[in-house]
Amino acid sequence: MSETWQLPPTRSKESQDLFVLSMVPVGRRTRGTYLEIGAFMPEQDSNTWLLDNVYGWRGLSVEWMPEWVTLFNVSRANPCILGDATRLDYGTILKAHNFGTYIDYLQIDVDPPESSLIALMQVLRAGVSFGVITFEHDFYAGGEIQRLMARQALRAAGYHLVVGDVEWERGPFEDWWINPAGLINMDAALRFEKDAHPRMDRAGLTPGNVALFKEALCR
């Protein structure tokens, strides 16, 4: 490994984009796909900006605020559609955008946590599998039931929890999952499951978490 190596220019608030890149095999890093539910802004705190702008991934984002959708679509190469994440037919939408039955990354980040859970259930019925999932349950803000139900649903669907209860300054808010049957760097997944600290904010990564990202991404 190079002594001058630096983390890629993450825009994720809690390093979700770095986790996704760490989990996919080297050969997928520049040709991955994503579905982003709850896009927010095109660059600020975006979990897909790095994947799209630096690594050339193809993806589709969903956002319910019209002004953010407009800004997204003039700022990013991949499209963002306007819609209520809890009411969309994801199978039909993904087919219309020429996605297959396997997508490398699913983000679900919808407020309140009840909406994140409904969106997850909708996606799991879409006939598509995902390599990596980041699911925001907002346990810190009363999302205990949503966390429990999401974990039950994802485990039943064959997904494996790698980093649970990822934290920000207010407490645990998100779970990070992989699909062991998908295109996954399982060595990195096992290392993260064993050694990752749940505090992942980009401004305060622990040395141990930096080392995990470095080991996975310097390949």
201 domain residue, yes or no? yes
Rounded-to-integer distance, Cα 18 and Cα 155, Å: 23
121 domain residue, yes or no? yes
Which stretch of DSSP H or E encloses residue 194? helix 186-195
Q: What letter would DSSP give residue 215?
A: H
Question: Model pTM?
Answer: 0.95
CATH number of residue 138's parent domain: 3.40.50.150
Confidence of residue 199 (pLDDT cuts 50, 70, 90): very high
Contacts of 208 (CB under 8 A, 6+ apart): 195, 196, 197
Smallest Cα–Cα separation from 177: which of 129, 127, 114?
A: 129
Is residue 1 pLDDT above 90, yes or no?
no
Burial of 113 (0-12, 13-18, 19+ CB in 10 A): buried
Overall number of domains in the chain: 1
10 domain residue, yes or no? no
Is residue 26 pLDDT above 90, yes or no?
yes
Q: Name 54's bridge partners.
A: none
Rounded-to-integer distance, Cα 111 and Cα 202, Å: 22
12 domain residue, yes or no? no
Is residue 108 pLDDT above 90, yes or no?
yes
Is residue 185 pLDDT above 60, yes or no?
yes
Tell me what pLDDT residue 202 has: 82
Rounded-to-integer distance, Cα 80 and Cα 74, Å: 10
pLDDT tens digits for 28-53?
Answer: 999 999 999 999 999 999 999 999 99
More confident site: 61 or 5: 61
Cα 219 versus chain centre, distance: 21
11 domain residue, yes or no? no
What three-state secondary structure class fits 171? strand
Is residue 87 pLDDT above 80, yes or no?
yes
54 domain residue, yes or no? yes
Rounded-to-integer distance, Cα 16 and Cα 200, Å: 8
Tell me what pLDDT residue 54 has: 96
Structure-block tokens of residue 119: 């969106």
Tell me what pLDDT residue 3 has: 58
Rounded-to-integer distance, Cα 175 and Cα 198, Å: 10
Tell me what pLDDT residue 7 has: 87
CA distances from 53 to 49, 57, 58, 91, 208 (A): 6, 8, 10, 26, 27
112 domain residue, yes or no? yes
Tell me what pLDDT residue 168 has: 87
Rounded-to-integer distance, Cα 141 and Cα 115, Å: 14
199 domain residue, yes or no? yes
Range of the domain at 30: 19-217
Tell me what pLDDT residue 122 has: 97
Is residue 204 pLDDT above 90, yes or no?
no
What three-state secondary structure class fits 166? strand
Confidence of residue 145 (pLDDT cuts 50, 70, 90): very high
Is residue 5 pLDDT above 80, yes or no?
no
